[in-house]
Structure 1
């Protein structure tokens, strides 16, 4: 995936949304830094800073401060995912990072927030854009979920050891549906435990996530990325939204109960006018109490290999509107 600037054009979906919610673009850095960008209060001053590539950008002056070295080649950078989290409990926001190669590591934020941060190994995943952070075992600590295997054919989760300087403990979730896109977390069956979503379906979280392979359920989303789990139609069960990273399309899958008593899924189109939608985030953008969707398109994200790759870069949000039990 190729990108060129951190902050891009903003579009608003829906006439009422345009009247109520306005955005103003601020260019933080016109140069390409990395495919990943994270938001966190790095220096503990109460303001949200930005992390991208080799630098973190302190609010409000946004001056770049280098904290690591990132290899680059042919318009790409060796950072696929960044997850800010306080891993060592010192009150400072550290950074979990996934490289284009198999290595995952976390970087320790020093007390003065200066210089290069020390890196500690987590383990090996597969070159991916889809490592997800969440608490799988309910201990209040961050875990990682992502693809594993030579061809990313399986899914695993990694738990931090008591000694954070050591590699993390890896447990296989299942042997289906790894892939470089499409892994997510959400409580699909409302049992209070986070399930793991993949492009082909979802793994039901057992009481003990460290057991053998988790039960697998079919839900074929095709080549989609970053699923968001939410009850979009307000009928009491969880639905799924996901974006198409290599084509046009943003969709949601409505959950219902089939004649056999098992979950049944119906796909609905949200928008098919924008291509290469990668990261998808659920958030209440307009403050009306429900979850809207935020996503964006990069310019030539995969050179010329995808439909619409030369079309303009966009940052877009979609307002959720309901009519009874219809989204």
Structure 2
């Protein structure tokens, strides 16, 4: 039995804090990803997660369940699994609410209706040609004031014709009618191995957001075990320039940009989520500094105050 958990601190002193665990739902299988927002504007946080062949909305604070989507064949060229490997939120259609974006062999989005509790949300394809999309990240890549989507295509030929690549996807003018989004392959074939999670941020100070990624390796994922970032060119031309931060990093998975030491230089915070250890790369030279070498499989990573 797998559980979706919600945690909050009981004390303001986090060094001595105890966190109370709340079980939102118990699933028969895996729950890989959950996202949170206040969908019904009641001032309470709600949660959307995929589990047991469905995408479900849990309304806080009592976690009443609403089914948003049932996975079934025939909606795209790829047969879905029972759960999403990853998900994120994004106002795709510009109507002011948060739509759900998931990766389940196909990258798709579910449109949040005016009444989010009115029934199933409309399913639409984002991209069903990229494959092995372990991470979805929303952000304004091309600085047009509109959200874009970052995804990886981590499988190899012949599974996909866009192998070992990183992509950013632009929302089409009418996303409700479009069969797919506008695809920009900025790392074409140079993200080998088991690419995992991405980060978005301007790390070289030129005003253009750059994208980072990490990949595990091993016999099944040749060419992995690295942390890297890709520099967005000012002219927008593809592909982007790759900067290797470190290789020979068993289990590399997560990397996020942030000014960790307050020196007004961007750093990278990273983990080996399929291995061992938390580390950071101190900018601007991105020297690797270990934070905790003993923590095991830190597969989930986020930054917040």
Q: TM-score, normalised by structure 1?
A: 0.74
Structure 1: runs of 5+ lacking an equivalent = 257-263, 285-327
**Structure 2 residue aligned with 1:30, among 21, 26, 40?**
26
Q: Provide the C-alpha distance between the structure 2 equivalents of 1:33 and 1:62, rounded to a whole number of angstroms.
A: 19
Please state how far the C-alpha of 1:112 moved relative to its aligned partner: 2.3
Alignment of 1:32-181 (within 5 A): 32=29, 34-53=31-50, 54-70=55-71, 77-99=82-104, 101=105, 103-113=106-116, 114-124=118-128, 125-148=130-153, 150-151=155-156, 152-165=163-176, 166=178, 167-175=180-188, 176-177=190-191, 179-181=194-196
Runs in 1 of length 4+ with deviation above 4 angstroms? 8-12
On the 8 A contact 1:229/1:241 being kept in 2, the answer is: yes
Say which SS state the counterpart of residue 18 (structure 1) adopts: helix
Deviation at 1:230, TM superposition (A): 1.3
Specify the alignment match of 1:314 in structure 2: none
Distance in 2 between residues matched to 1:26 and 1:218, nearest whole Å = 40
Please state whether the residue corresponding to 2:84 is helix, strand or coil.
coil
Query: Are residues 89 and 182 of structure 1, via their aligned partners in 2, closer, same or farther at CA, if it must alter by over 3 Å?
Result: closer
Q: Report whether the alignment pairs 1:198 with 2:230.
A: no
Q: Is the 8 A contact 2:87 2:135 kept in 1?
A: no
The count of residues paired between Structure 1 and Structure 2 equals: 265
Distance 1:67 1:265 in 2: 43
Q: Which blocks of at least 5 consecutive residues in structure 2 are unaligned?
A: 73-80, 157-162, 215-226
Structure 1 position 283, deviation (Å):
0.4
Q: Tell me which residue corresponds to 1:317.
A: none
Retained in 2: the 8 A contact 1:57–1:64?
yes
CA contact (8 A) 2:200 2:211 kept: yes
Question: Equivalent residues in 2 for 1:232-311 (5 A)?
Answer: 232-256=260-284, 264-284=285-305
Distance 1:158 1:281 in 2: 22
CA contact (8 A) 2:8 2:19 kept: yes
Check conservation: 1:225, 1:280, Cα contact below 8 A.
Answer: no
Counterparts in 2 of 1:150 and 1:60: CA distance versus 1, 3 Å: closer
**Higher relative contact order (CA closer than 8 Å, sequence separation 6+):** 1
Aligned alpha-carbon RMSD (Å):
2.5
Matched residues in 1 for 2:110 and 2:36: separation?
15
